Chains A and B, each alone.
Chain A
Amino acid sequence: MSNEKPEARYQRLAADYRKRIAARLKADYGFRPDFVALLLIQDDQEMLQLVREKEPEAWTEIAGLVTELKERLDEPPAYLIARYYQARASRLAAETICCQKRSAVADFQLQLSRLMINPVTGLPILFLILYFGLYLFVGRFGAGVLVDLLEEHLFNQRLTPWLTGASNRWLPWPALRELFTGEYGIITLGVRYAVALILPIVTTFFLAFAVLEDTGYLPRLALLLDRFFKKIGLTGRAVIPLVLGLGCDTMATLVTRTLPTRRERFIATLLLALAVPCAAQLGVIFSLLAEKPAGIAVWAMIILAVFLLAGFLASRLVPGDPPDFYLEIPLLRRPLFSNILVKTGARIKWYFLEIMPMFIFASLLIWAGRLSHLFDLLVRILTFPVRWLGLPAETAVAFLFGFFRRDYGAGGLYDLKKAGLLSGNQLLVAAVTLTLFLPCVAQFLMNIKERGWKVGVSISIFTLFFSFTVGFFLNLGLNLLGINL
């Protein structure tokens, strides 16, 4: 809508001040002086600071002119100027665009888009996507069928026996044999976890995520969830880092940078560390509880409740204003198959290069720890809190792994479950506790990098105690109610 009034008002007053301010700018700012002046008029704090440093003599005068203009206009100059640009843009657009009839495809897309955003239809659509994309494709197919194929048929039946035989034959020192093919060896544990357990899960997740991403569903999800996120101090904008967190929380913490306020960035970082499981964790948890659909439902409800409660409390406790939200919505489109493959490939490569050395390093660390008996000592210490959760002492090892990496810890549970050491209740308690457990080392470092030492360390300590508390009460509750999953 073109509106002459603000334009005229702006022209008359601001143009004059702008010229006078520009004339006093002597340093080089990388923009034309009269544009720098325009930014100053709009209260651009960064620019004001810069000019203050660079123009020590003229600064008082410049600041005086900026204040004077503000007082003479009835509205903040930033509004007036934004309206002025918009009016010019609208006029230009009106002169250069002409409309024809929309294509039938576009009509259908717009209709579908509306259904995705409307809560009445949008929430069921979201549920379907979670069920088919996350549960069936990642959980049952990736973490079930594919893991079974690689783990059982490739590693346990072929690779491991063959390599163990080879190492027994060629490696004369038992300690060295232990390093490669022992219980926690580089091949038997590190490479097996990475290749047979984590790789298929992460691959299926990134594939599903890439499809959602390229269809343009995520911005619509952001609009759908905006009203709920407002209650926890966030906006729909946080959907993107949080959903990405279901893939990798470390990557997602980096993406919290796209959130506009410090408060939102803090809340999102906390939620990612506490209540958003990563794909590897999710996949392993789905397969842990595969025969117990009720367990998955309880697990999901607890994690969701913790997510909402933590967000709600954080939004109350962290000072700051409720944020605004505005998002570009691209058209829905059919994803390009090649783009999905290349993108998934790039993400898997990023992920794999990050975990592979970590997993090998973990095997080395455990090996050194076992030689020096430190490992056994730590496991013994951890058996105490693990017992409070009603879990068998063997789970302590999985929790020790969990200190290192989330997916590694979940992987430890997977082995215990296969050995038939955990009951349904115990699986649920362990799954919940490990989901809420510490962020992995990479995410912890990212938290420190993005939010600073104090926040990074506090979040880790908080999640450590919080996860055990929830696990403890969950176990207590299940026992008191006499529930046996």
Chain B
Amino acid sequence: MTEINNVRKNGKRPFEAGPGRPRLALVGSPNVGKSSLFNRLTNSYLIVSNYPGTTVEVSRGQARIGEVEFEVIDTPGLYSLLPLTEEERVARDILRLERPELVLHVIDAKNLERMLPLTLQLREAGLSLVLVLNIMDDAEKLGLRIDLERLERELGLPAAATVSTTGRGIDKLKEIILTAHEQRKT
């Protein structure tokens, strides 16, 4: 893949895909809790803020889920697979060139309608996908109730409801990741 060498000039170049740990990529619009989820999965600490666009550099970490070591990649905010900003291009390049085994599309549960278009795009792009409805506590405070099973059925994707700041739903998410990984192997 020679294109990797000339896509990004400013040091944010994606790593070439290769053998090694299976990769998990976290994507989604700004301020949906990707970095906070990254910290939960990898037990590390990235600065997490309650404002959009905080992740400028791509962060990588390791997560041990069950018996499997994953490489976790936190990406800058992405609204659409048709990128407008430099960050969006970086995020798209990671999806395109790094071949993550599983892509976690993290969304703000209270803005489901606004965020689903990207889910549909990611699915059409042929990526294997898990939908993570994060910040579920806010959605509940606003009185929203989401039928997770129906959503899973309609999209044909596994979905998890989480609150990454408190850790709610993370175990369920890990189970989903592991199941997807097992299916991939067989």
Contacts and interface: CB of A to CB of B under 8 A. Distances in A.
Contact of B120 (A53, A54, A89, A101): A89
Contacts of B10: 449-450
B142 A30 contact: no
Interface of A: 29-32, 34-35, 38-39, 42, 44, 46, 50, 53-54, 78, 82, 85-86, 88-90, 92-93, 95-103, 105-106, 213-216, 218-219, 237, 240, 254-255, 257-260, 327-328, 330-331, 333, 335-336, 339, 342-343, 346-347, 449-450
19 contacts: A31-B95, A35-B125, A35-B126, A86-B117, A97-B112, A97-B147, A100-B143, A101-B143, A103-B142, A213-B50, A258-B52, A258-B87, A328-B111, A330-B50, A330-B51, A330-B135, A331-B138, A339-B48, A346-B47
B111 to A, nearest CB: 7
Contact of B124 (A35, A240, A331): A35
A54 B84 CA distance: 23
Given A35-B124, A218-B51, A106 B142 contact: yes
A92 B141 contact: no
Q: Which 10 residue pairs are nearest across A and B when measured between Cβ atoms?
A: A30-B96, A32-B126, A89-B116, A93-B113, A258-B53, A85-B117, A100-B143, A31-B125, A35-B125, A218-B51
A218 B115 CA distance: 22
Q: Is the interface of A mostly helix, strand, loop or mixed?
A: helix
Contact of A328 (B30, B124, B146): B30
A66 B69 CA distance: 43
Contacts of A44: 82-83
A476 B145 CA distance: 66
A204 B22 CA distance: 42
A214 B56 contact: no
Contacts of B49: 213-214, 343
A260 B5 CA distance: 23
Nearest to A42: B82
B85 interface: yes
Given A31-B125, A38-B124, A92 B3 contact: no
B143 A99 contact: yes
B162 to A, nearest CB: 16
A46 B83 contact: yes
A184 B166 CA distance: 49
B178 interface: no
Contacts of A450: 10
Contacts of A29: 96
Contacts of A255: 53-54, 56
Contacts of B83: 44, 46
Interface string B75-117: 0000011111111010000011101000000001011111111
B106 to A, nearest CB: 13
Contact of B50 (A32, A215, A259): A215
Nearest to A54: B3
Nearest to B118: A85
A402 B144 CA distance: 54
A95 B154 contact: yes
Contact of B113 (A89, A240, A330): A89
A32 B31 CA distance: 28
Nearest to A110: B142
B155 interface: yes
B95 A30 contact: yes
- The residue in A54, A218, A240, A328 that gathers the most chain B C-beta atoms within 10 A of its C-beta is A328
Contacts of B95: 30-31
Given A240-B52, A260-B84, 18 more contacts: A30-B95, A30-B97, A32-B124, A34-B124, A39-B81, A89-B113, A97-B145, A97-B147, A99-B143, A106-B142, A216-B51, A218-B50, A240-B51, A257-B56, A328-B29, A330-B51, A330-B138, A347-B47
A92 B56 contact: no
B15 interface: no
A328 B121 CA distance: 20
Given A32-B126, A42-B82, A257-B87, A96 B143 contact: no
Contacts of A106: 141-143
A88 B127 CA distance: 19
Contact of A82 (B97, B117, B147): B117
A221 B82 CA distance: 28
A342 B46 CA distance: 10
A470 B67 CA distance: 64
A98 B146 CA distance: 6
Given A102-B143, A339-B165, A254 B56 contact: yes
Contacts of A327: 52
B65 interface: no
Given A93-B116, A213-B51, A331-B141, A258 B56 contact: yes
A386 to B, nearest CB: 38
A262 B135 CA distance: 33
A451 B30 CA distance: 24
B63 to A, nearest CB: 19
B146 A96 contact: yes
Contacts of B120: 85, 88-89
B151 interface: yes
A95 B4 CA distance: 41
Contacts of A34: 124
Nearest to B141: A106
Contacts of A240: 51-53
A346 B59 CA distance: 15
A218 B52 CA distance: 9
Contacts of B51: 213, 216, 218-219, 240, 330
A103 B49 CA distance: 25
A341 to B, nearest CB: 12
B55 to A, nearest CB: 9
A32 B119 CA distance: 15
A327 B148 CA distance: 27
A254 to B, nearest CB: 6
B3 A50 contact: yes
